Structure 1
């Protein structure tokens, strides 16, 4: 007898799929609040299309993420379906790529990236006006784009190129809104690829191709991610085409840039809502940095700033959900899943689960202090298991540096009282994120 997950009541034929598609954050947190005490899984089971199993138990979520033999990462959205980078590849190809790239994200390389981030922050702040209103997310996207391209690709990007990439990513996110539920819709109802997507993808491809070509044509390119991939390409035991080189560059450029910019932007929002916390970050920065730019040696002393980043990632994780697909018929938490069944792991909902977190909707960086630190399975902003985000320490370092360095020189006040969030490829603000900035005397 087949054992199925609990299916919450929904509409005839389509079940709860419209609720999931229309407002996934509300739907998933609602499922977490209503059913997590009773069921480890619930199923969104329309009569048309494919069912979705939502994992409510964080321990089961980690079991799924750790088990590459039974679950694989589906390619969500049109861009991932086209590219063979570290994010979207699978099996032996993924293992090859990860083994090549892992050395670029440990030890001394992290210290190198930290110095580049500090230099770039210093240059960026010198160009900021004394005061005014800015689109904070856009400004931070341009900043993180420069850090990514300088550190990982040894290339600089001016403001115009940063804005171009920012706009292309916005177009890809719009496309994702239309395409993500193609995974569960019948084929005749699935959306196609728009002209806007084609144009945005071509922009990213052009930038990445330029970076790769520079390395291929440079007699002695500096050590970086692209150089590591080119060196690996010369190994007869590693299969890596030039197109895959470009794909990797696109995925590092876009993934690392946007998620970090979002984390910093949301941290400024939460600090704007919590002035005492903002002043603690500023006081710590002034004490540790003394007006100078941050470096690798300062990182361990920015302890409160680190807590702010962790708490920001709990309440507003840039990656709000991850998904897996069953490779074969499997049993998960006593539930039988068919091969190809879609499993959703709602990070955003787990991070706000009242069974785990005290006052889960309250921004409280001190929940991460000392013995109160959370290290359990309900917190996984960078995923977990073998496919945990390779650049997580780079992102955390850049976010800490940005908050500390900006706040020792500027006040930043996000004008909105509430965030209007758009869960797409990432958890983005639905429109411009306006902030008032003013230089400190």
Structure 2
């Protein structure tokens, strides 16, 4: 018994020594990272190990916006500054030349810190290795090649009927709201419409959210909120209080992927049986994927990854842009009147908007672009810089992550005069183009594949809304922004809606 006690004591001592040595080694590695990058400007760290993460946690706990803190630091520390979290070093970059160099080139992969954490959410596969998250260039390029035909301008032209039909359902709902003289929760309503559109256009499914609300909006919101905590707080999953929420996130991920698997398999079966199938994005993806020389099980799983990606991104970001646009137009009656006049001139009283009409809605395009400058719904992206680089005269050792935040550059006076003023004329066709400081859909080869799809949809919905209704914000709302992975209006943009009295 005495021998056993001695062995146990020595085992405990050995394990404690091992833990201590490992911790000391890790601390030395953190110190090495500090010494390697501390010549780069940056705010003081909250702590040696946690770096700046306590600052981010405080901002999130207080209902603030992390991107506002990044903007504050950009103004204070210049075009490149350092952020530390544990042993990770990230650089926030606002230098246009570096933005051009890194985002426009395929040689800078998406960074592992953020995008690997989107593969799973708390152990449940989420975005996996889809178009947004794939780091390997060849793997990404194969997927992009499969997806491209489904987003060609010729194919998108053929979607105008669906855009019109689904937007018309929103107009019917708003007619009922105007007649009943009740408040319209615009963020909620446009969320339903964009989810209807992506389900119908991409996957041939009629959700009809405006009649029968489904579980999908809540599942998408839960996944995105889980994503924010999973990326920004490494210790979130270890707190027992968070377990119920973590289960909700896992269940939401599972629901989306199970739904996707069912829809994909149903379509494949229909195609194999020679049935008539919609000529939608899902059919195009399956047909094009079938032309690949090899389709492995992982390729099949990638199709599911991209289902989740498109289902979320194709709905959430466009809805948020529409809600922010409605919010800003309500605050600027002179801009609202001008864009209504353009819609009247181009569309008149006709119900179906054509593809050619969209090109004539020039000022509406400016309004939507200005909305994304102040409120980029997908606020930024990041890349790994593997080799040494010079940014604004500062030597940057390779092996670091660079963050590029359109929210930050869009709100900086050095790039946009009076940046918080909503001014669509910044994007007048004759105005100088912003030089690599405006990129709400990212830039270069990894820019958003669905950006033309999203802007066509947004134009159709906004044009119909402006054609038919007057709207104004219900007093007492805030104009705060909520960060749920994407940016959305915290107030929900609650409006009173009235039928327009056309003078013409």
Match of 1:103 among 142, 149, 152: 149
Provide the alpha-carbon RMSD of the alignment: 2.6
Uncovered stretches (5+) of structure 2, i.e. residues with no partner: 1-34, 60-64
Q: Distance in 1 between matches of 2:191 and 2:376?
A: 16
Distance 1:236 1:381, change over 3 A: closer
1:273-288 maps to which residues of 2 (within 5 A)?
273-288=331-346
**Residue deviations 1:390-409 (CA, integer Å, cap 9, x gap):** 11111111112211111111
Paired position in structure 2 for 1:86:
131
Distance 1:429 1:213, change over 3 A: same
Aligned length: 434
Q: Distance in 2 between matches of 1:407 and 1:70?
A: 42
Question: 2:83–2:89: 8 Å Cα contact kept in structure 1?
Answer: yes
- Give the secondary-structure state (helix, strand or coil) at the position aligned to 1:72: coil
Distance 1:372 1:136, change over 3 A: same
1:195 to 2:231 alignment: no
Q: Distance in 1 between matches of 2:102 and 2:484?
A: 22
Shift of 1:284: 1.4
**Runs of 4+ that moved beyond 6 A:** 185-193
1:400-439 maps to which residues of 2 (within 5 A)?
400-415=459-474, 417-430=477-490, 432-439=492-499
1:7 to 2:42 alignment: yes
**Residue deviations 1:219-242 (CA, integer Å, cap 9, x gap):** 232322222222234335243533
Question: 1:64–1:71: 8 Å Cα contact kept in structure 2?
Answer: no
- Give the secondary-structure state (helix, strand or coil) at the position aligned to 1:361: coil
Shift of 1:338: 4.9
Q: Distance in 2 between matches of 1:372 and 1:182?
A: 42
Distance 1:412 1:204, change over 3 A: farther
Match of 1:66 among 88, 104, 115: 104
Question: 2:230–2:236: 8 Å Cα contact kept in structure 1?
Answer: no
Distance 1:257 1:167, change over 3 A: same
Question: 1:73–1:88: 8 Å Cα contact kept in structure 2?
Answer: no
Paired position in structure 1 for 2:308:
250
Question: 2:162–2:201: 8 Å Cα contact kept in structure 1?
Answer: yes
Distance 1:113 1:59, change over 3 A: farther
1:323 to 2:379 alignment: no
TM-score normalized with structure 1 length = 0.90
**Residue deviations 1:241-290 (CA, integer Å, cap 9, x gap):** 33222221121111011100011110000001101111122221122111
TM-score normalized with structure 2 length = 0.79
Shift of 1:431: 5.3
1:113 to 2:159 alignment: yes
Shift of 1:294: 1.6
Distance 1:249 1:134, change over 3 A: same
Distance 1:403 1:29, change over 3 A: same
- Give the secondary-structure state (helix, strand or coil) at the position aligned to 1:54: strand
